[in-house]
Amino acid sequence: MKANEVWDSVMKHLNNQMAVQAASDRYRGTCGESREAVRQHFLPAFINREDGRVELARLPNGQPAAMHLISHLPVEWALQTDPAGKVVALKASIEAGFVRDGCYYTRSEAASLAELNTLSQPG
């Protein structure tokens, strides 16, 4: 098993805000990280791999977030909620990624696509 596969397996069992941040840190400086991705018109989002449903990360007021926040995802995606009903841990089937032009991209796909777009730009 490759190191990335081991990491992904561990993260699936620790699918909370800290795990989402740790995954983001792995892609720092690429479009696999929210800050860079937003500059390339990607919106932080999550996908439920069980049914393919995609949800944008949202702020408490419902507006799209500029980073992967789990607290306002659908409660049915929650493994655990806090006393106020906010999501604090996600089911293993939920994965952080991005949406651009109506399509979902994993962090890796977003990073690769942005790199390809940069390389194809006239110099």
pLDDT at 2: 59
pLDDT one-digit tens code per residue, 85-103: 888 889 989 999 999 999 9
Mean pLDDT of the chain: 79
Question: What's the rounded mean pLDDT across residues 10-19?
Answer: 59
End-to-end CA distance of the chain: 39
> What pLDDT sits at residue 107?
86
Is the pLDDT assigned to residue 7 strictly greater than 90?
A: no
| Biggest CA-to-CA distance, the chain | 54
- Where exactly are the structural domains of the chain? 3-120
- What's the pLDDT tens digit per position in 50-94? 999 999 999 999 999 988 899 899 999 998 888 988 888 899 899
List the structure tokens of 39.
């500059």
Task: Write the DSSP assignment of 16-38 as a string of letters.
Answer: BHHHHHHHHHHTTTSTTSHHHHH
Instruction: Please state, as a whole number, how many other Cβ atoms lie within 10 Å of the Cβ of residue 90.
Output: 24
Q: At what angle do helices 3-13 and 17-26 cross, to 10 degrees?
A: 160
pLDDT for the residue numbered 3: 57
